[in-house]
Amino acid sequence: MNDAVRIIEVKEDILADNALMAKNLNAELTASKTFLMNLMASPGAGKTTTLLATLALIGKHLKVGVMEADIDSKVDAEKIAAAGTEAIQIKTGGFCHMDATMVKTGLDAMDSPRFDLVILENVGNLVCPAEFETGAHLNAMILSIPEGDDKPLKYPLMFSVCQVLLVNKMDYLPLSDFNLDVFRERVRAINPDMTIFEISAKTGEGVDAWAQWLTARVKSVIG
């Protein structure tokens, strides 16, 4: 057995470097009066549909740009652009998350100081995106009713790093065994300060309240 072999903790170093990059990026965005929101969810939770419903309301009060992140696709960016909001597509080349360096590349490409709010629709999963800071002023997540009320138990890190949670597809609730009270208890056990909105991007339920809250949050930073 060779005791001289060195072990390098790469992940720890990568996360530390990324955290510093994210901190600096956040300061730059604040100075330029641009608010960055990092939106995370599982595939099928309704990120893009929720985003479209949100943009229809906040676009009246804020200049918004969108960064769509996917491993290899431009479908979502095309949907956002077709609805009238400027969007760019970031292909992560196999990575299951966005980190601060990728985000800065996207922000520079879209000339982010032109916007009051930039929304990053992160790669769809509840694991990797939670591990990497992006420089965002707000981490938001969507959890849809069909996914089940046990997700805080399975993915606690995602629920701990987010400040706001959108429980989407409330129109599906009567058809499911999703227990909202149990779900809220599980979320609060991980993150007592989590702000929760119960919405349906399909019917519009709760979207107005969420949009008003987001607009106020952005204005509190950009003035």
What is the rounded end-to-end Cα distance, in angstroms, of the chain? 62
**pLDDT for 9:** 47
Which tens digit of pLDDT belongs to each residue from 76-128? 889 999 999 999 999 877 778 889 999 999 999 999 999 999 999 999 999 99
Domain boundaries, position 80:
10-222
Residue 46 has pLDDT above 80, yes or no: yes
Residue 11 has pLDDT above 60, yes or no: no
Average pLDDT, the chain: 92
Give the whole-number percent of the chain exceeding pLDDT 90.
83
> Does any domain span residue 4?
no
Mean pLDDT of 159-172: 98
Which tens digit of pLDDT belongs to each residue from 138-160? 999 999 999 999 999 999 999 99
Confidence of residue 16 (pLDDT cuts 50, 70, 90): confident
Q: How far is CA 31 from the centre of its chain?
A: 22
Mean pLDDT of 36-44: 97
**pLDDT for 12:** 59
> Does any domain span residue 173?
yes
> Does any domain span residue 2?
no
3-class state of residue 1 by DSSP: coil
Residues 94-132, buried b or exposed e (16+ Cβ, 10 A)? eebbbbbbbbbebbeebebeebbbbbbbbbbbbebbbbb
Confidence of residue 72 (pLDDT cuts 50, 70, 90): low
> Does any domain span residue 64?
yes
Which tens digit of pLDDT belongs to each residue from 203-216? 999 999 999 999 99
> Does any domain span residue 153?
yes
**pLDDT for 96:** 86
Mean pLDDT of 170-174: 97
Which CATH number do you get for residue 70? 3.40.50.300
pTM (2 d.p.): 0.92
Q: How many domains does the chain have?
A: 1
**pLDDT for 82:** 95
**pLDDT for 34:** 98
* CA dist., res. 195 & res. 12, Å (int): 30
**pLDDT for 10:** 44
**pLDDT for 1:** 47
> Does any domain span residue 50?
yes
**pLDDT for 65:** 97
